[in-house]
Amino acid sequence: MVVSRDKTPSAQETVTQMAQAPGLRGRLLVTIGMLILVRLGIYLPLPSIDRAVFANFIKLSQGNNPFLGLLDTFSGGGFSALGIFALGILPYINASIILQLLTVAVPSLEDLQKNEGEAGRRKISQITRYVALGWALIQSTGLAWWVITSGSVLVNGLPVAVQKATTSAGFLGLEFLQGGNLVSPVILLPFVLKTMLALTAGSMFVMWVGELVTERGIGNGASLLIFINVVSRLPNSFNQTIQQTRANVESGDRNFVAGVIVLTLVFLAMIVAIVFVQEGARRIPIISARRQVGRRQYLEKTSYLPLRLNQGGVMPIIFASAMLAVPATLATQFIKNPAFSQFVAGYLRPGSWLYIVLEVVFILFFSYFYSSLVVNPVDMSQNLKKMGASVPGIRPGRATSEYIERVLNRLTFLGAVFLSIIVLVPTVVESATPVRTFQGLGATSLLIVVGVALETAKQVQTYVISQRYEGMVK
């Protein structure tokens, strides 16, 4: 097959290389095998749990707490299935975010990242693993006690029921009953310890799998694990949609079919918009100074400094959802106050005008916050000055940093507006149509799926180009 080394690999060349090139084929098989292994681990059940009782509890909890549905989507149904991989890659993701925040605040970590090179990055990775271990212990303990509140835990073969009791301070407490009699919470400690160890071990194994995929597979392992968890929910949603469509057609109701068509068109339009925005960047021209090497003088070279339109990716949406889930969690789990519960149910429910306004405000705030962590205009200006490069018409130093910051603020605002639109459109369309089978697969899931797919496709193309050059050398 004749190819041009200046062209992007075609689909035919990519598929051929994936099937014939040993290196690329091996990476592909490692990636697929590890992802299948992690998916199977989600369905290895934890012991001492009544599955029927817990399934009913999950349905009620997801209706009261939308953030739980988001976590269940990220874990690929791990929370509802309650397998040993229920936590999945979430502790590692949380640890990475924490280290990213600490790198800006702690000078020693910032020095490791910027000045120590590969050794410093390896040390930060090791610290991230330790933080992920601690975070997994905390999350697994919290998940164990949350499972206990469902009343599905079996101790010595008998279920332990849980009822809420109001303390003198107005907060909600818990009482544990077994066989109609009050029992001490101490009898639940063995279950908590076993669950904590199983979930933590599962999370550490998933973290190892993610790093193995990154090193020996294709794409970023952590991103691919979240990608496969989100995509795993699609077959069930498609199946439910087809069944409901068939039932409505047989009954003569055409509104559901029209709703499916509208929702499909909206999702396709959102995918196209996400691709454009994820790939969109403002390219600031950079001119390198002339260099004198011996008797030869090298002319100025023009390059570009790319600034992405959406620096934070999906993180502003996740942070905003987490903040808006706090009042609902307090109202249902900790505070027994009728006025507070009525306010949360009336004004802070998903889809209400106050909820939408606060979500847009939080997305705007976290977009600027996360952008300030990812991109530092002062460091960019200093690096350009060290390389002898400058922006045309802008003086090096402070003027360059102010110019980059001004451009970055405008891009961040446009990116935040785009994220807000992407979040609101599925909510509005789902409320206007009778289709409810795709709830939980909204803007966050689409951003993750499209972003990871683009990133992985680029890496596959990189491997194909490298194989092309190796073939030319041979």
What is the domain partition of the chain in residue ranges?
Answer: 1-151+189-232
Scan for tokens 């063995």, then name that residue: 190
Q: What one-character DSSP code corresponds to residue 290?
A: P
Task: Yes or no: say if 103 and 215 are a contact pair by the CB < 8 Å rule.
Answer: no
135-149 pLDDT tens trace: 999 989 988 888 888
Q: Is 309 helix (H, G, I), strand (E, B) or coil?
A: coil
User: In DSSP terms, which residues pair with 177 in a beta bridge?
Assistant: 161, 182
Task: Region of 440 please: left (phi>0), alpha (psi -120 to 50) or beta.
Answer: left
Q: Determine the longest span between alpha carbons in the chain, in angstroms.
A: 95
Low-confidence stretches of the chain (pLDDT beneath 70): 1-7, 61-67, 69-70, 164-174, 180, 253, 289-302, 329, 332-337, 434-443, 468-474
Give the pLDDT of residue 289. Answer: 65
β-pairing, 154-155 vs 158-159, is antiparallel
Q: Which two tokens stand for residue 27?
A: 């990476």
Residue 201's CB is within 10 A of a number of other CB atoms, namely 14
Q: What is the DSSP string of 116-165?
A: SHHHHHHHHHHHHHHHHHHHHHHHHHHHHHHHHHTT-BEETTEE-EEEEE
> In CATH, which of 1.10.3370.10, 2.60.40.1120, 3.40.50.300, 3.30.110.70 is domain 1-151+189-232?
1.10.3370.10
For 142, half-sphere exposure in the C-beta direction (CA atoms, 13 angstrom radius) is 9
Q: pTM higher than 0.85, yes or no? A: no
Structure token pair of residue 388: 């002898």
In terms of C-beta distances under 8 Å and separation of at least 24 residues, what long-range contacts does 425-432 make, across chains too?
A: 425/266, 425/270, 426/266, 426/267, 426/270, 427/350, 427/351, 427/356, 429/262, 429/263, 429/266, 430/263, 431/351
Ordered DSSP codes for 398-424: HHHHHHHHHHHHHHHHHHHHHHHHHHH
**What does the pLDDT read at residue 48?**
84
pLDDT of residue 436: 61
The answer to whether the CB of 316 falls within 8 A of the CB of 416 is yes
Between helix 107-115 and helix 90-105 the angle, nearest 10°, is 100
Token look-up 């306010």 returns 343
Instruction: Report yes or no: 459 and 219 within 8 Å, Cβ to Cβ.
Output: yes
- How high is the pLDDT of residue 375? 82
Measure CA of the first residue to CA of the last residue in the chain; give whole Å: 15
d(C-alpha 322, C-alpha 338), whole Å: 23
Three-state DSSP class for 175?
A: strand
Question: How many C-beta atoms lie closer than 10 Å to residue 19's C-beta?
Answer: 10
Instruction: Write down the residue that tokens 């690929």 correspond to.
Output: 76
DSSP-assigned letter for residue 433: S
Q: What is the pLDDT of residue 171?
A: 47
Burial of 2 per CB tally in 10 Å (0-12, 13-18, 19+) = exposed
339, amino acid identity = A
Counting beta carbons within 10 angstroms of the beta carbon of residue 359, is it exposed (0 to 12), middle (13 to 18) or buried (19 or more)? buried
